[in-house]
Amino acid sequence: MSRRLVPALLVAAAIAAALGLVACGGDDDNDTTTQIGDVQGIDADCGSIEYHGSGTPTKLIVSDLPLKGDSAERSKQQNDAIIQELARKGWQAGNKTQVAFQACDDSIASTGEWDEDICRTNAQKYAANPDVIGVIGTYNSGCAAIMMPVLNKAPGGGVPMVSPGNTFVCLTEPSPTLCAPDEPDKYFPSGKRNYIRVVPNDAVQGAGMASFANEQGIKKPFILIASDDPTSEGQGRTFEGAAKSLGMTIAGVEHYDPKASSYTDLMKKANAAGADAIFLGAILEENGAQLIKDKVSVLGPNDGAVKLLAPDGFGQQSTIDQAGADSAGMYVSLPGKVPGSLTGAGSAFVKELKSQLGDQPIEVFAPYAGQAAEVLLNAIRIGETRAGTIAALFKTHVADGITGTFSIAPSGDPTPAPISVQKAASTFELEKTIVPQPELITAARGR
């Protein structure tokens, strides 16, 4: 897909104006704009409608992300990236459709995590609003699983949904070991798919991290999985399947209570089992910082005899900020490429985004949110309606896009699908980019 570049100074001015107006939801701003022209916004935990193009908008794109808690900065940057791409495209999808944007929140203040009721209510409001032409989100796969069937049955052939962050395998692909028998079909009750993602799923991530662990000489990893979280379960099990395929011996698989005050007993159990690595099937919000601290307390530093591995839920600056020095040396996998490794259009996009963020490290999912916006805008240009946009999404081929060159497979997943492994220091630093072998991805899925 070609990219129309706007002169840098004009883009920067448009972005600065837009970013100055974005609301993160949940505040008491009585001046929130919920209608521009004939476009009606979402009456939920959302910010103002944003539009900085010519004339008045005719359609609305919404983002659905957790704007509170540990992921707040990550989500804010994703919204910044979406606005940057909209500004780059002149707030237009081709010459026929002017597109406004509204950032909505799916998290609650008490936990900082996504909330099932909010995800469902948000989806119902998006589906019922005929001005909504697409959703960019979610970040959390559990929230997506609630929203997807609602959006799939929406009037007009369903609401198109493009995720920059969901990695749960079962949203798009079946697996006898990871998924329920009715997954992923239950997410598409109409019988037609309306959901794609621009990041690789957990089978790719698990295969990539297992491949990296094998290269590091790890022979006996111990896997800890957050209880009652399908995404964490999937991340732990995909790593397990790929690790076994590579000849590793699993020292143990244990589930932990995210509300516990200490995990030293679990770390002692891993030590007794002879583990040479700990893999955390979890996200930072599930008491991840305490897990890291207790790992180091019992098993030593992460660059010592027992390594610490984790998936993308830990791949944010908040991990280092919360765990402090104990995070040093841990390896974190990320779906796709890290911002600093992007080239061409991606490098230019990151440079522009960095100019708005200053010294704040760019979160890995920010460019993918920009890529989601680019893909969605192109599909709206071609399809114009909800149903037409959905059809166009499944014909997507991106050449030198923000995150590189890729196509969307019939499942809704991007191909090819790289992953990145980073190492924690004062910030996360890229260790290696990996494109896992197809047979290892199959092993991770349990097929």
pLDDT at 31: 53
Q: What's the token pair of residue 132?
A: 């909504």
Burial per residue of 394-411, b for 16 or more beta-carbon CB atoms within 10 angstroms, e otherwise: bebebeebbbbebebeeb
In whole angstroms, give the CA distance from residue 314 to residue 290. Answer: 12
109 and 224 share one domain: no
Residue 3 lies in a domain: no
Q: Is residue 322 part of a domain?
A: yes
19 CB neighbour count, 10 Å cutoff:
17
In this structure, is residue 221 part of a structural domain? yes
The pLDDT assigned to 2 comes to: 29
Query: What is the Cα gyration radius of the chain?
Result: 21
Task: For residues 30 and 156, state if they share a domain.
Answer: yes
* Residue 139 sits in the same domain as residue 229: no
CB-side neighbour CA atoms (13 Å) of 247: 4
The answer on 30 and 159 residing in a single domain is yes
CA distance 76 to 363: 10
Could you give the CA distance from residue 57 to residue 49 in angstroms, rounded to a whole number? 10
Q: Do 232 and 318 sit in the same domain of this protein?
A: yes
Q: Are 155 and 276 in a shared domain?
A: no
Q: Note whether 62 and 129 are same-domain residues.
A: yes
Per the structure, how many domains does the chain have? Answer: 2
Sequence-separated (6 or more) residues with CB below 8 Å from residue 42: 34, 60, 62, 102, 104, 122, 125, 126, 129, 132
Q: How far apart are CA 301 and CA 297, in angstroms?
A: 8
Q: Are residues 124 and 210 in the same domain?
A: no
CATH code at 75?
A: 3.40.50.2300
Threshold 0.75, pTM exceeds: yes
* Same domain, residue pair 196 and 232: no
Do 275 and 251 form a contact (C-beta atoms < 8 A)? yes
Q: Does 265 fall in a domain?
A: yes
pLDDT per residue of the chain (447 residues) written in tens, 0 to 9 = 322 233 333 344 444 444 443 333 333 344 577 899 999 999 989 999 999 999 999 999 999 999 998 889 999 999 999 999 999 999 999 888 999 999 999 999 998 889 999 999 999 999 999 999 999 999 999 999 999 999 999 999 999 999 999 989 999 999 998 999 999 999 999 999 999 999 999 999 999 999 999 999 999 999 999 999 888 998 999 999 999 999 999 999 999 999 999 999 999 999 999 999 999 999 998 999 999 999 999 999 999 999 999 998 898 889 999 999 999 999 999 999 999 999 999 999 999 999 988 888 898 899 999 999 999 999 999 999 999 999 999 999 999 999 999 999 999 999 999 999 999 999 999 999 999 999 999 999 987
For residue 230, what pLDDT is reported?
84
* Same-domain check for residues 285 and 399: no
19: containing domain: 8-200+339-415
- Assess whether 298 and 228 both reside in one domain: yes
